[in-house]
């Protein structure tokens, strides 16, 4: 047997991923990774007494190319005599859904399809084709976003479905390199299709894959994959220690005061409680709750969260939440547009252009790295606990302190508008400098030209 296949078999045994006799839903896109996964599991299915069913989701984002992917998977299912379930994205859904990028929307729809199909079949395990190179790309993606140990530890061999905790997502190929999978698929003469968009430099992940990683391997560390994977494993193991300490504190009948816990354990305690409550987690939200007790924070319209002095998290829904009144989500996309929010008029345009030179700027106009900002922006007002890193500063600070230093009157703080990513990262604040993390740099490929004009109300 080829060495990588033996490695996968060891992974299956060590992680107890796919027990004998399991029903397994195999997610197959038609790309080389998922084709390799399907054929490997099919080779082992009789020995392991697995019942395999192929799941293919047609996102319908690439027109004829997406339909060609589906046809290929259908042919594979017929040739292998493995049952097939196909789902297709409702294209109108993407247009109706606000506050979510195409990528995030596609992922959500795909997981809906996989979990729904697995439940209908009575299966509890879904096999995915993520591999070692995915882990490395994810590491740098999260590193650039400022993730801590939890984020840097990346995906695991086994995790619960984001839509159904009773379903397990299994990743048997996490120890395998992309080049190994490609070589095996080609040697075996297996048909596959590649998404041409993966080879472009559009989007941060693609630039990491096609530009940054080849550079690092060629000029700095030939064994980059092995080095990063070792770092990921260390981060995961150390994070696990912190998580266990946090769970022991949460489950204890008598416990040390929350404020006396190490900061890493405090953050983990908050994170665990938010996840248990079904609240989306990011660093800014955790920090806002960790640093301020007994003060309610609005995470989204209609949802309020507070950390008591004891360290316990309380969540509740406001009875009179008015949709769209305190925030507005806008689709930036790849073009230009305009919107109005809180007596302010906004205009934007996404432009191709390298580097930091933009020429003379008009009043109220700023430039950002469009790929760092993403396709969707949330406009809202200042909230207690907000943190922001202005350009030139070493780290984020409380937005309230920045307002105080800028001598913004207390009564005007809440009228200031700010812009964030869907994950809650603030990249622009009305009347202040832009964010350090979203500025133009030498790696910029696309610029977001952003302009705000206030029509009514004071701005300090």
Ordered alpha helix ranges (H), 195-335: 204-207, 213-219, 224-251, 263-276, 283-291
pLDDT band for 299, please (50, 70, 90 cuts): low
pLDDT at 457: 55
SS3 assignment, position 175: coil
pTM for this model (two decimals): 0.61
pLDDT band for 213, please (50, 70, 90 cuts): very high
Q: What percent of the chain has pLDDT over 70?
A: 88
pLDDT band for 141, please (50, 70, 90 cuts): confident
Residue 46 has pLDDT above 90, yes or no: yes
Q: Angle at CA 200, nearest 5°, toward 196 and 202?
A: 125
pLDDT digits (tens, 9 = 90+) for 314-371: 887 654 433 344 678 888 877 788 888 877 888 998 888 887 777 666 677 899 998 8
Q: How far apart are CA 322 and CA 300, in angstroms?
A: 11
pLDDT at 324: 40
Average pLDDT over residues 293-304: 69
pLDDT band for 97, please (50, 70, 90 cuts): low
Residues 6+ apart with CB under 8 A from 372: 204, 427, 437, 438
Residues 6+ apart with CB under 8 A from 52: 24, 26, 41, 42, 45, 82, 83
Average pLDDT over residues 67-85: 94
pLDDT at 98: 45
Residue 28 has pLDDT above 60, yes or no: yes
pLDDT at 33: 94
pLDDT band for 95, please (50, 70, 90 cuts): very low
pLDDT at 205: 83
pLDDT at 453: 87
Residue 92 has pLDDT above 70, yes or no: no
Q: Which residue shows structure tokens 């009789």? A: 46
pLDDT band for 132, please (50, 70, 90 cuts): very high
Q: How far apart are CA 188 and CA 182, in angstroms?
A: 10
Integer angstrom CA distances of residue 393 from 146, 179, 232, 369, 428: 15, 41, 28, 18, 14
pLDDT digits (tens, 9 = 90+) for 389-447: 888 887 788 888 888 888 877 667 777 899 998 778 899 998 888 898 888 888 888 89
Query: In 62-157, where do the E strands start and end?
Result: 84-88, 125-127
**Among 107-116, 277-286, 292-301, the range of highest mean pLDDT:** 107-116
Residue 120 has pLDDT above 90, yes or no: yes
Nearest alpha carbon to residue 163 among 91, 107, 123: 107
pLDDT band for 20, please (50, 70, 90 cuts): very high
pLDDT at 119: 92
Integer angstrom CA distances of residue 302 from 184, 254, 305, 315, 377: 52, 33, 10, 11, 19
Q: How far apart are CA 382 and CA 85, in angstroms?
A: 46
Mean pLDDT across the chain: 84
Average pLDDT over residues 24-44: 95
What are the φ/ψ torsions at residue 250 (nearest 5 degrees)? -65, -35
SS3 assignment, position 313: strand
pLDDT at 27: 96
């Amino acid at each position: 047997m080829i060495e990588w296949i033996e490695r996968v078999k060891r992974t299956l045994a060590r992680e107890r991923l796919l027990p004998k006799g399991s029903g397994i839903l195999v997610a197959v896109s038609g790309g080389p990774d998922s084709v390799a996964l399907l054929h490997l599991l099919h080779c082992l299915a009789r020995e392991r007494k697995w019942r395999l069913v192929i799941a293919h989701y047609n996102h319908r984002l690439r027109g004829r190319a997406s339909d060609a992917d589906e046809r290929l998977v259908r042919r594979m299912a017929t040739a292998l005599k493995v049952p097939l379930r196909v789902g297709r994205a409702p294209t109108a859904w993407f247009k109706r859904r606000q506050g979510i990028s195409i990528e995030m929307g596609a992922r959500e729809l795909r997981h809906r399809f996989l979990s729904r199909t697995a439940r209908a079949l009575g299966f509890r395990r879904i096999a995915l084709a993520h591999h070692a190179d995915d882990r490395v790309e994810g590491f740098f993606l999260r590193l650039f976003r400022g993730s801590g140990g939890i984020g840097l530890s990346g995906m695991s061999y086994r995790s619960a479905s984001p839509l159904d905790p009773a379903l397990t997502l299994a990743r048997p190929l996490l120890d395998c390199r992309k080049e190994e999978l490609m070589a095996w698929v080609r040697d075996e003469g297996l048909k596959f299709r590649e998404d041409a968009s993966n080879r472009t430099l559009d989007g941060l992940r693609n630039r990491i894959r096609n530009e940054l990683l080849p550079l690092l391997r060629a000029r700095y560390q030939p064994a980059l994959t092995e080095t990063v994977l070792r770092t990921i494993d260390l981060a995961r193991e150390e994070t696990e220690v912190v998580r266990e300490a946090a769970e022991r504190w949460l489950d204890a009948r008598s416990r040390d005061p929350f404020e006396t816990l190490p900061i890493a354990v405090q953050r983990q305690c908050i994170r665990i409680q938010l996840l248990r409550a079904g609240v989306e987690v990011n660093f800014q939200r955790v920090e806002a709750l960790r640093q301020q007790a007994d003060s309610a924070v609005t995470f989204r319209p209609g949802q309020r969260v507070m950390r008591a002095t004891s360290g316990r998290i309380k969540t509740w829904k406001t009875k009179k939440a008015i949709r769209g009144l305190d925030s507005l989500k806008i689709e930036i996309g790849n073009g230009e547009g305009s919107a109005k929010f809180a007596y302010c008029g906004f205009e934007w345009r996404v432009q191709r252009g390298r580097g930091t030179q933009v020429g003379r700027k008009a009043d109220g106009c700023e430039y950002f790295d469009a790929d760092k900002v993403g396709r969707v922006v949330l406009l809202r007002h200042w909230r207690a606990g907000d943190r922001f890193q202005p350009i030139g500063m070493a780290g984020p600070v409380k937005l309230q302190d920045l307002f105080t230093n800028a001598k913004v009157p207390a009564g005007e703080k809440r009228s200031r508008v700010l812009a964030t990513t869907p994950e809650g990262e603030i990249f622009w604040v009305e009347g202040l400098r832009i964010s350090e993390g979203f500025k133009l740099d030498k790696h910029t490929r696309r610029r977001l030209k952003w302009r705000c004009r206030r029509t009514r109300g004071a701005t300090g």
